[in-house]
Structure 1
């Protein structure tokens, strides 16, 4: 069966899509596009919910910052982050490239903490970051259950959302710090997510950043049985 137009559109974005790690421009995200992203997630059995309540956004931002502060004191996590950060000109085909995050992060309001990939190095990207201080649209991806099947559904839903967003000029920033601390994740499930299990916190917005993504070759990801 031949792929339909929508599938071909998403496929074309696989190599182009990249994670954003800074603020966004002040350009508004069209409501019709947000509705389309919600529908894309629903197709896979997950729920994408734009957070409209300002107090709820502030809570998500504060918990993200708190989780980041706690994790920054964890030596093993810090070492893993250092290993994952690529130096400028590195020939590695994985990790976070130096141009993939701002050299001097600008605070958004409310502020969502970012991973510290620089670790004191003069690395990073300063192109277009100075004026990109908008938080963008905060959204959460949730599922009713929290089984392995739900995790797979989450991954498939996230893929649909990100590729569809990329195809329409929208970028996404992820904030998983609180999800890695079980008690904070449970608090958010009970207080903000209508008892659904929180799988991803993200910000969506428009940016003029034109950095390139990094993808491992398919041969590195497959195992022959």
Structure 2
């Protein structure tokens, strides 16, 4: 493999792919550096883009950074490289989330290339899904994808599913009357953005989806108490299919692993024809996060709750221009 620095246009394209990752409220809390001399990428946290109320410990920031890292790895494998990644490589620089060194193609990563087309096809869908059950073989493949990144993915059912849904409902009710949650929404939602080209971040009104008038799907209402002209209502699924992603520990490095696992699951779900959205409300309240875990095993730290199913694909949401997030150094 060529040991020369990547051309600037290829670096730009790779970061464009990485930045298609999801993040809480689409805050996109990341920056990238590329060093021509060492041919290394750095994924860095952007602390100007944290959500002080919903994410005071920066856990969601690390999840988003991990998702962007996974996209970068997928894009590099697609280009024919092996991405040698290190998490939190410099203890003296906590803003440096990961480094990635493109090397010769190696074993164990080639399956990531198949996920590349999904990077720009994956969008959160806040629309009703069908009641069609996800086949067991697809669930197994999604769980294997999470396991490959050092996380666990389970599909709660029966009374555990009911417990998760009740916790999410409680959190959503709190958020609707909580001043801090309202401030986060006010900063990171764009009710007056009619298209993807009128904003560079946040959740635009056209991506809110309809207001829920029935069903059990756990939907965050990004409008809060604000009216959205032309927004309709809809019945959502009665039997939502949720996936809970957890890690054995709860440290920043585990959050980064969970972010990579989350994005790997979402990309594979997209390839398999599934739509997805997030149900993170209960994770934003410390007293509700712990009860989300499987009470039978009693193990694991819940990092994300996903809603999966067959239904409309969500619209694309804004992304910051690559020149705003990429720095190329000698």
Q: TM above 0.5, one fold?
A: yes
What corresponds to 1:103 in structure 2? 210
SS of corresponding position for 2:211: coil
RMSD between aligned residues = 2.5
What corresponds to 1:89 in structure 2? 194
- 1:47-126 equivalence runs, <5 A: 47-52=152-157, 54-86=158-190, 87-89=192-194, 91-109=198-216, 111-117=217-223, 119-123=225-229, 126=232
Gaps of 5+ in 2: 2-79, 82-108
Q: Given the alignment, which residue of 107, 118, 122 partners 1:17? A: 122
What corresponds to 1:36 in structure 2? 141
CA distance in 2, matches of 1:215, 1:169: 24
1:141-174: CA deviations, max 9, x gaps? 0111111111111011011001111112111121
SS of corresponding position for 1:199: strand
Question: Could you say if the C-alpha distance between residues 131 and 179 of structure 1 is closer, same or farther in structure 2, counting changes exceeding 3 Å?
Answer: closer
Question: Could you say if the C-alpha distance between residues 210 and 138 of structure 1 is closer, same or farther in structure 2, counting changes exceeding 3 Å?
Answer: closer
1:49 positional shift = 0.4
Q: Does residue 150 of the first structure (1) align with residue 254 of the second (2)?
A: yes
How does the TM-score come out when normalised to structure 1?
0.85
Deviates more, 1:63-72 or 1:161-170: 63-72
Q: Does residue 206 of the first structure (1) align with residue 313 of the second (2)?
A: no
How does the TM-score come out when normalised to structure 2?
0.60
Deviates more, 1:19-28 or 1:199-208: 19-28
1:70-126: CA deviations, max 9, x gaps? 2222213202202222224261021112221223324323x4242332633234765
Structure having the higher Rg: 2
CA distance in 1, matches of 2:200, 2:278: 21
CA distance in 2, matches of 1:35, 1:185: 25
More strand by share: 2
Equivalent residue pairs, number: 221
